[in-house]
Amino acid sequence: MSTEPVNEKLIAVQVNGESQEAVVESRRLLVHFIRDDCLLTGTHVGCDTGNCGACTVLVDGKAVKSCMMLAIQAEGTAIETVESLGGSDGELEALQQAFSDKHALQCGYCTPGMLMSAKHLLERNPNPTEAEVRKAIQGNICRCTGYVNIVDAILEAAEGSGS
Ligand code: FES
Ligand code: FES
């Protein structure tokens, strides 16, 4: 029985400011490249079907569900994952601190995706309304919190930015 040759490609990307290169199967999802090749396991896989948003990262500044993108499609891009947040000394940045202060997480499974969607929003709109916050995280599902504290945290982070 013959087997199909594996179609592999070399990709080079920036992940959290560091160059990463890997030979990946053409069908490999970006989320698996991030978790298994880059060993950045803060990006979660909740569904693998584009529904939950736990895998959200920024690709060239745009919020992307990384289970909906092939790794080879990210060639040449700059990717930011949840590990890019905060200082190198472990200090939390305003958004993370607000999630902590407002009890915006329980199990934490959705949190990396929520944080990256919120970061994407606040970079484009530093002073969002509650409706704009809710719209920004509409692709991120949380089974624990009921969203109220998450929305409050994002609004608090926006206020704290002084914008
Ligand atoms: S794991 Fe990507 S949207 Fe759920
Ligand atoms: S805190 Fe548990 S899924 Fe959001």
Note the pLDDT tens digit of each residue in 125-142: 999 999 999 999 999 999
pLDDT in tens, 4-37: 667 999 999 999 999 999 999 999 999 999 999 9
The residues, any chain, with a CB within 8 Å of residue 130's CB and separated by 6 or more, are 151, 155
Residue whose CA is at the smallest distance from ligand 2 atom 4: 142
CATH 3.10.20.30-classified regions of the chain: 8-84
Q: For residue 150, count other CB atoms closer than 10 A to its CB.
A: 28
* Strand pairing class (18-25; 8-15): antiparallel
The ligand 1 site (C-beta within 6 Å) comprises 45-48, 50-55, 65, 67
Q: What is the pLDDT of residue 163?
A: 44
Reply yes or no on whether the pLDDT at 78 is more than 50. Answer: yes
Q: How far is the CA of 136 from the centre of ligand 2 (A)?
A: 17
Strands in 18-25's sheet, in edge-to-edge order, are 18-25, 8-15, 78-80, 56-59, 62-65
CATH 1.10.150.120-classified regions of the chain: 94-160
Q: Indicate the class that CATH gives domain 94-160.
A: mainly alpha
Supply the DSSP symbol for 105: -
Residue whose CA is at the smallest distance from ligand 1 atom 3: 50
Q: Is the CB of 108 under 6 A from ligand 2?
A: yes
Q: Is the CB of 107 under 6 A from ligand 2?
A: yes
C-alpha span between 28 and 156 (Å, rounded): 37
Q: Is the CB of 114 under 6 A from ligand 2?
A: no
- Classify domain 8-84 at the CATH topology level: Ubiquitin-like (UB roll) (3.10.20)
